[in-house]
Structure 1
Amino acid sequence: MAKKLVYFFGAGKADGNSGMKNLLGGKGANLAEMAGHKKLKLPVPPGFTITTEVCTLFYENKQKYPKELKGQVAKAMAKVEKIMGKKFGDPEDPLLMSIRSGARASMPGMMETILNAGLTTKTIPGLIKKTNNPRFVYDAYRRLMMMYSDVVMEKGSGIEPKTDHDGIRYKLEHALETAKKKKGYKSDTNLTVEDLMKLCDKFKKIIKQTLKKPFPDSPEEQLWGSVGAVFSSWMGKRAIAYRKIEKLPDWWGTAVNVQTMVFGNTGDNSATGVAFTRNPATGENMFFGEWLPNAQGEDVVAGLRTPNPVNKAGKTKDTRHLPSLEENMPKLYKELHSYEIRLENHYSDMQDIEFTIEEGKLWMLQTRIGKRNGQAAIRMAVEMAKSKLISKETAIMRVRPDQIDELLHPSVDPLAEKEGTLLGKGLPAGPGGAMGQVVFTADDAAAWAKKGKKVILVRAETSPEDVHGMHAAEAILTAKGGMTSHAALVARGWGKCCIVGCSEVQINLQKKNMSVNGNTLKEGDWITLNGSKGTFYEGRLKLNP
């Protein structure tokens, strides 16, 4: 009998469970648990997981798949199609899929994701007819082109751009920004159907020009290209760098999750978000998270748009004017809130969850053990033991030695802070105080730190490519993003001082300087960050050990 390489989940059933992380990866095991466990059976978009064993075989056999894989994938896809009442690649009513990685341990953003696979010139008209929403369809298409050309056609093919500006992602983002600037738009959501159609045509030309081949117009090619790129990303530069830092072995491999797409960007009745069952920065027992209306998940995590707080309790002085999900969609917020309570009780630990609302229906896309800093880890362990959610022994084991060490991190001297020149304020994403010289790229941060210099990495937003520089820096400061963005998530996991979403910061990479509230700082200038308050100052302020 052929070895089982593909595990199905969805519609209250699953072939796997949360105990199968080694085979299905963390994401796949938890999707199976959420979908199929008799006490959960949450609304999870149906899909299937290709196991970590396939990843090992892929590398052992010169990047070729086991011969039985295609048949097992086709069988699982047919199950998904039956549940959804749509077919992958059908020109009348196409089913679209997401393809995501999932290792045993959480590696936020270190490997690849493709959304909206299955959109082609043949399926676009059918989807427009079905949804009566051409703007949404072309928005989904331009996102697919941006991701696929970057992940599969460039990185997956081993193409190394000479500079950031030569990379396909940069070129497409530049074309998007130019289109917005031309029309005086502030946000991607201002783009009209006509704007997006023109942009998609422009993207195709840029892709062909840069990568010397056309964007694929076959759903099957998009699916298998994406699966291969996820497996290839396991041995990608940034994934290797992250595993080195986290001391994770290379032989683990990654699973691939192929899941029905649900859309948060079909209009104002749709949304997407990331939430934690407790506050990952403080440990407070309060449902905490961020959401964006009319958006896809990458918008929240990549920090491209600064998101709204998920509830009224999570509002701060800086976000009090933004509408919460609790206020905007109270019924759906209540449903989400009930799921997060069930998930924390089920896993007996703080959960990091991703969700999408499509046309007023809530879908759960992921749950995993949430990363937290030292202060939060101790508070959660103590409070969970007190409430009998976990035993005292488990509580002790929940706090790692490096998290205790974090509590001994330096903090900015309150007196020096009072007298210091405040430059700006953002969201306090990582604890403690830090000072260093400003640098604007991850490579410079790593190079300067190697020479023994203390640096602060300042970016518009961080991406997984920046992980080596983030690790080398004393602290991280970003102009965009929220408390669930990539920078915040990674910094928190390392207990590193970090401030995100400081919108006053304007960076000029060519001139290697930044302006903030009328002050200009050049590469090498000293600044001091208070990651616990989200404030940063000119020069070197005294730090208390």
Structure 2
Amino acid sequence: MTVPKLVYDFAEGNKDLKQLLGGKGANLAEMTNLGLPVPPGFTISAEACKVFLATGSVPPELADEIDHHVDALQQKMGKKLGQADDPLLVSVRSGAAVSMPGMMETVLNVGLNDDSVNGLAHHSGNPRFAWDAYRRLIQMFGKTVLGMDGDVFEDAIEQAKQAKGTRNDLDLDADDLKALATTFKAAVKEHTGREFPQDPREQMDLAIEAVFGSWNAERAILYRRQERIPADLGTAVNICSMVFGNLGMDSGTGVAFTRDPASGQPGVYGDYLQNAQGEDVVAGIRNTVPLADLETIDKKSYDDLMAIMATLEGHYRDLCDIEFTVERGKLWMLQTRVGKRTAGAAFRIATSLIDEGVIGTDEALKRVKGAQLAQLMFPRFDTDAEKKLITKAIGASPGAASGQVVFTSAAAVEAAGRGEKVVLVRRETNPDDLHGMIAAQGILTSRGGKTSHAAVVARGMGKTCVCGAEELEVNSSAQTITVNGTTIGAGDVISIDGTTGEVFLGEVPVVPSPVVRYFEGTLAADAGDELVASVHRLMAHADEIRRLGVRTNADTAEDAARARRFGAEGIGLCRTEHMFLGERRASVERLILAENDTDRDAALAELEPLQRGDFLELLAAMDGQPVTIRLIDPPLHEFLPSMEDLAVKVALAKERGEDPGHDAALLSAVERLHEQNPMLGLRGVRLGLVIPGLFAMQVRAIASAAAELKKQGKDPRPEIMIPLVGAVQELQLARDEVEQVLAEVAGSEGVEWVTPVGTMIELPRAAVIADQIAEAAEFFSFGTNDLTQTTWGFSRDDVEGSFFSRYLEKGIFAVSPFESIDREGVGALVKTGVERGRATRPDLKLGICGEHGGDPDSIHFFHEVGLDYVSCSPFRVPVARLEAGRAALD
């Protein structure tokens, strides 16, 4: 039996092998094959990680493969791991198929020990560099591999700097760093009960296992859940020979972008840090200089970098994110990937690349997402409002965020759980802050730049972020910020602008975004706003190629008109029960509790003109477009007084010796109609069949409204939907009543129009017998909210706030099935309903009106199974249009 290969030299891979080699390994291989200056190394595939995660140990054949590649690397480099006079050092870095910035682990300088550190000092001629490299290894190894608290090391560094009378790491000399290494080793022994390992191969093996294990670290799981990344991918591990940016001021490290990841504009973007290793840049521990300054610092390296950036963008045909190191004037490429970008940058870059002839419009549409479009529709700060500016820093991720100041991730999560809006303020964030970053409205740091951890993660999540606010003195222990004489404490409100980098005291009013104004029709596509023009171009292409129609869920003329401006092609769901709330509820209560035909008819007579007015407005707002009106479908308890409250009122009245009168009669009726599980009780078609005249009243109101509009020369297109059908007999009985009323109104009014009658498929039985139901239905609309409840046996109102978080944590599902369609279960029923329904009636019109109709991932599924349209809330109509176009390209 041939055992699959687990380890690959950089020269053996390419950018298309991300599933096997991870994104980092695949791109290191691609750059190697392009002839770019990549330090030699090899990649352990994600397949090895999967074995480790399944069994708790690495595959038995992995050790021999690593030995083989280590030997080849040592021959290539002319030095060995642990060599006393001139050691080979390597980095051990994670690299999943999908970028997860900062979520997993890295260990640098593997191979140093008490002997080889002296050889490194002698060979480099720089003892400070050698001891700095060694203390970094011990620090990273202790935290990453041995699970120590990172503060143990950070506190020791701070004490060393205080003893030296400095706040800058670079002021610590070789003796200081040698002492730190000794302190660190003692801390390892104290906190772990073992010595820091001196064998380089043991260091490497333990680091590899730590990287594998970090795939299931809490923050990695949380990030995958947030970004909907599959949990079974595993991570590759990259073993790369070290190059050093901390050899002196002629060395350094940086991160570069071929275009601005915040705006999408071409130019020189990135950060550089002299005399530093890569982790210093992304951690934001020291403030960087703009990448353009490298031209003055080291022109040759700068020119080489610019040429390589042009090569990579041309090769990948996209914005590239690059990590590099300069070692004594020699440029080395450590990583590249198609870079994360803000939502605005995604649209601008896509259209710019069309104009440059790099990609076509189809490819450009593939590169933007509905979730990004939704971000662009969020409000932004009102530039005309009075604001108190307290500082201005780096706008790292656009948006407008206001909230109470919190200083820890735990405080952010706690406050968000209470429904409060917060801004997380830190000196710099690290991967352990992910919970707080997700919970916060925005992130503000006093250190770091556009490539810091805070910036990169915030951009990936679409979260507002301002970085590098150097004027801020953040005192986490005292829970205060001090800036220009102003002290701000926890709980005080600030506002941050992720586009301009401005930070304001207090809450700043917001205004609609230009993209929303464009959809509303108050800002023209050619008005000079570059972002709006980009959105317009890609939306036009999506509309041109999509097969799925997009309707809206709307119960009022106002919502319908807005959705139509946003591009809705009709109403896919009008929930008539929403029309009976407020003042009308008393009439519905009288209808439900009526004890005789006279009382029932009186209640229906009250409601019919009100309903007619509702439908007049709604059909007029959607003139010429289909309007699917679902007949009343409330759980009865929503329109009845509380049984508990009534019981208390009656009991108190009797206790006072008073006659409870109407309350007693009402309590008796409510007790008679009380249901243990109202969601599965007397509702939907059952209500229409049990309460005579209810559906007829609604249909008469619809028909008379349509007739009046027809007489006015308009084009009303109502569609009547019977809810919660589980048997074709239910639908046929309801349909007979509907068609009788329609015919009566058409005859009396002397006008004709077409009113299709269909049903909502929201019960598993309905999907399974869709071939029967289609005999009596001209259309189906899948109600995936209730279909999810009845398929899973979940009561949405109960479970989302109770155990859903545990289900997500345990990986039972990666995303709530109420948020994104459960393809295997609920989706399979939808597919069955489509196939069986069309087998009976090939021209059956099919749509979906649950909340999944506006979910980007779900829209692709609905396209695949052959629905005709999706329906969603007005605000999500543009998102659905865009995703329907992207689905057509799949």
Give the TM-score band, short-chain normalised: over 0.9
Q: Secondary structure at the match of 2:267?
A: coil
Partner of 2:92: 99
Letter of the 1:360 counterpart: G
Paired with 1:408 and 1:363, the residues of 2 have a C-alpha distance of: 40
Letter of the 2:136 counterpart: R
Letter of the 2:364 counterpart: A
Q: Secondary structure at the match of 2:384?
A: helix
- Paired residues of 1:168 and 1:207 also in contact (CA < 8 A): no
Letter of the 1:496 counterpart: K
Partner of 2:252: 271
Q: Secondary structure at the match of 1:414?
A: coil
Partner of 1:50: 44
- Paired residues of 2:118 and 2:130 also in contact (CA < 8 A): no
What is the Cα deviation at residue 193 of structure 1?
0.8
Alignment of 1:18-29 (within 5 A): 18-29=15-26
Q: Secondary structure at the match of 1:252?
A: coil
Partner of 1:176: 157
Q: Secondary structure at the match of 1:415?
A: coil
Among 414, 417, 421, which residue is 1:447 paired with?
Answer: 414
Letter of the 1:5 counterpart: L
Partner of 2:464: 497
Letter of the 1:116 counterpart: N
What is the Cα deviation at residue 213 of structure 1?
2.0
Alignment of 1:12-161 (within 5 A): 14-36=11-33, 40-61=34-55, 63-154=56-147
Partner of 1:343: 312
Unaligned regions of 5+ residues in structure 2, if any?
Answer: 513-890
Q: Secondary structure at the match of 1:107?
A: coil
Q: Secondary structure at the match of 1:7?
A: strand
Among 234, 238, 242, which residue is 1:257 paired with?
Answer: 238
Partner of 2:667: none
Alignment of 1:338-487 (within 5 A): 338-416=307-385, 419-487=386-454
Paired with 1:395 and 1:6, the residues of 2 have a C-alpha distance of: 35
What is the Cα deviation at residue 287 of structure 1?
2.7
Partner of 1:314: none
- Paired residues of 2:406 and 2:425 also in contact (CA < 8 A): yes
What is the Cα deviation at residue 204 of structure 1?
1.4
What is the Cα deviation at residue 60 of structure 1?
1.8
Letter of the 1:327 counterpart: T
What is the Cα deviation at residue 45 of structure 1?
0.5
- Deviation larger for 235-244 or 402-411: 402-411
Q: Secondary structure at the match of 2:507?
A: coil
Paired with 2:249 and 2:139, the residues of 1 have a C-alpha distance of: 23
Q: Secondary structure at the match of 1:259?
A: strand
What is the Cα deviation at residue 66 of structure 1?
1.4
Is the helix fraction higher in 1 or 2? 2
What are the Cα deviations for residues 99-145 of structure 1, in whole angstroms up to 9, with x where unaligned?
00000000000000000000001211221221111110000011111
Q: Secondary structure at the match of 1:428?
A: strand
Paired with 2:185 and 2:58, the residues of 1 have a C-alpha distance of: 29
Letter of the 1:305 counterpart: R
Partner of 1:3: 4
Paired with 1:511 and 1:325, the residues of 2 have a C-alpha distance of: 38
Q: Secondary structure at the match of 2:306?
A: helix
Letter of the 1:18 counterpart: K
What is the Cα deviation at residue 288 of structure 1?
1.1
What is the Cα deviation at residue 518 of structure 1?
1.2
Q: Secondary structure at the match of 1:287?
A: strand
- Paired residues of 1:301 and 1:486 also in contact (CA < 8 A): yes
Alignment of 1:211-226 (within 5 A): 211-226=192-207
Paired with 1:444 and 1:459, the residues of 2 have a C-alpha distance of: 12
What is the Cα deviation at residue 443 of structure 1?
1.5
- Paired residues of 1:242 and 1:467 also in contact (CA < 8 A): yes
Greater C-alpha radius of gyration: 2
Paired with 1:540 and 1:27, the residues of 2 have a C-alpha distance of: 41
Partner of 1:186: 167
1:330 aligns with 2:311: no
Paired with 1:450 and 1:283, the residues of 2 have a C-alpha distance of: 35
Letter of the 2:52 counterpart: F
Letter of the 1:51 counterpart: S
Paired with 1:231 and 1:238, the residues of 2 have a C-alpha distance of: 14
Q: Secondary structure at the match of 2:16?
A: helix
Letter of the 1:47 counterpart: G
- Paired residues of 2:14 and 2:30 also in contact (CA < 8 A): yes
Paired with 1:421 and 1:407, the residues of 2 have a C-alpha distance of: 25
- TM score, norm. by length of structure 1: 0.92
Paired with 1:437 and 1:388, the residues of 2 have a C-alpha distance of: 47
What is the Cα deviation at residue 462 of structure 1?
0.5
Q: Secondary structure at the match of 1:197?
A: helix
Paired with 1:511 and 1:273, the residues of 2 have a C-alpha distance of: 33
Letter of the 2:504 counterpart: Y
Q: Secondary structure at the match of 2:167?
A: coil
Among 245, 248, 256, which residue is 2:229 paired with?
Answer: 248
- Paired residues of 2:421 and 2:441 also in contact (CA < 8 A): yes
RMSD: 1.1
Letter of the 1:100 counterpart: R
What are the Cα deviations for residues 372-410 of structure 1, in whole angstroms up to 9, with x where unaligned?
111111110011011111111101111111111111122
Alignment of 1:201-216 (within 5 A): 201-216=182-197
Partner of 1:200: 181
What is the Cα deviation at residue 498 of structure 1?
0.8
1:508 aligns with 2:475: yes
- Paired residues of 1:5 and 1:53 also in contact (CA < 8 A): yes
- Deviation larger for 407-416 or 449-458: 407-416
What is the Cα deviation at residue 77 of structure 1?
1.0
Paired with 1:212 and 1:355, the residues of 2 have a C-alpha distance of: 37
Partner of 2:757: none
What is the Cα deviation at residue 342 of structure 1?
0.5
Runs of 4+ aligned structure 1 residues displaced above 3 Å come to none
- Paired residues of 1:45 and 1:363 also in contact (CA < 8 A): yes
Partner of 2:782: none
- Deviation larger for 196-205 or 299-308: 196-205
Paired with 2:471 and 2:64, the residues of 1 have a C-alpha distance of: 53
Partner of 1:159: none
- Paired residues of 1:262 and 1:358 also in contact (CA < 8 A): yes
Paired with 2:149 and 2:220, the residues of 1 have a C-alpha distance of: 20
Partner of 1:230: 211
Paired with 1:429 and 1:379, the residues of 2 have a C-alpha distance of: 17
- Paired residues of 1:25 and 1:104 also in contact (CA < 8 A): yes
- Paired residues of 1:168 and 1:210 also in contact (CA < 8 A): no
Letter of the 1:500 counterpart: C
Partner of 1:488: 455
- Paired residues of 1:428 and 1:498 also in contact (CA < 8 A): yes
- Paired residues of 1:410 and 1:434 also in contact (CA < 8 A): no
Q: Secondary structure at the match of 1:291?
A: strand
What is the Cα deviation at residue 508 of structure 1?
2.3
Letter of the 1:375 counterpart: G
Q: Secondary structure at the match of 1:95?
A: coil
What is the Cα deviation at residue 210 of structure 1?
2.2
Paired with 2:107 and 2:160, the residues of 1 have a C-alpha distance of: 23
What is the Cα deviation at residue 531 of structure 1?
1.5
- TM score, norm. by length of structure 2: 0.57
What are the Cα deviations for residues 328-363 of structure 1, in whole angstroms up to 9, with x where unaligned?
111111111000100011111110000001111111
Q: Secondary structure at the match of 1:18?
A: coil
Paired with 2:493 and 2:212, the residues of 1 have a C-alpha distance of: 41
